[in-house]
Amino acid sequence: MAAGPYNYSYIFKYIIIGDMGVGKSCLLHQFTEKKFMADCPHTIGVEFGTRIIEVTGQKIKLQIWDTAGQERFRAVTRSYYRGAAGALMVYDITRRSTYNHLSSWLTDARNLTNPNTVIFLIGNKCDLDAQRDVTYEEAKQFAEENGLMFLECSAKTGENVEDAFLDTAKKIYQNIQDGSLDLNAAESGVQHKPATPRSPISNDQPPSKEGCAC
């Protein structure tokens, strides 16, 4: 595809990971459709969603791969981690086992992404406070010890869902600005797009591969 006018200047790749039934697909759906999906069946393999957001005046397209939490899919879903700029790692605040498994998800995320990948910890279902099984404080501490960003969210009410996705993008953008994320690295998970079409007069050079959407 030729480099043309894009209505966004960056593409960030995200992955969503975590145990089965913690609400990964519902978070994605809430973020992309602004709706809560009740009775969501377990994801088959992977799902995909996109949304264009704005961070400090820059339009950014998020390409989000939502992975199935079932153990049977785990081996192959790992192949989607590569080249992710952001990883949302989700547990369910009402089920301690999903929290206890975080270290295993974190190991995967660290091993299979690059050192600059922003990892955001999400404690989902915070609308169900009466059934809480994991305190905010201990998750916060786990996040701090492991250098993760952290929020409790509710895919059902929408609380903090925008913030989790947007704060991840802000952090990635900040990493680009301060030079710690190298855009030319093969697996940075970020693609830069020319925001405006090039003027036809100056366009006598062959189009560069960099702006290619393929």
Number of other CB atoms surrounding residue 62 within 10 Å:
24
Chain residues binding another protein by CB under 8 A are 37, 39-48, 63, 72, 75-76, 79, 82
Query: Least separation, in Å, of the C-beta of 29 and another protein?
Result: 8
Cβ closer to another protein: 71 or 145?
A: 71
Q: Are 169 and 12 in contact (CB under 8 A)?
A: yes
Distances (CA, A) of 14 to 134, 157, 201: 26, 22, 37
Residue 52: which H helix or E strand, with range?
A: strand 46-55
Least distance to another protein, CB of residue 86, Å: 16
Q: How many CB atoms lie within 10 A of CB 74?
A: 15
* Minimum gap (Å) between residue 175 Cβ and another protein: 24
Which residue, 37 or 146, is less far from another protein as judged by CB?
37
Find the shortest distance in angstroms from Cβ 199 to another protein: 30
152 and 133 in contact (C-beta within 8 Å)?
no
Backbone angles phi, psi at 143, to 5 degrees: -60, -45
> Do the strands 58-67 and 46-55 form a parallel or antiparallel pair, or are they unpaired?
antiparallel
Find the shortest distance in angstroms from Cβ 106 to another protein: 21
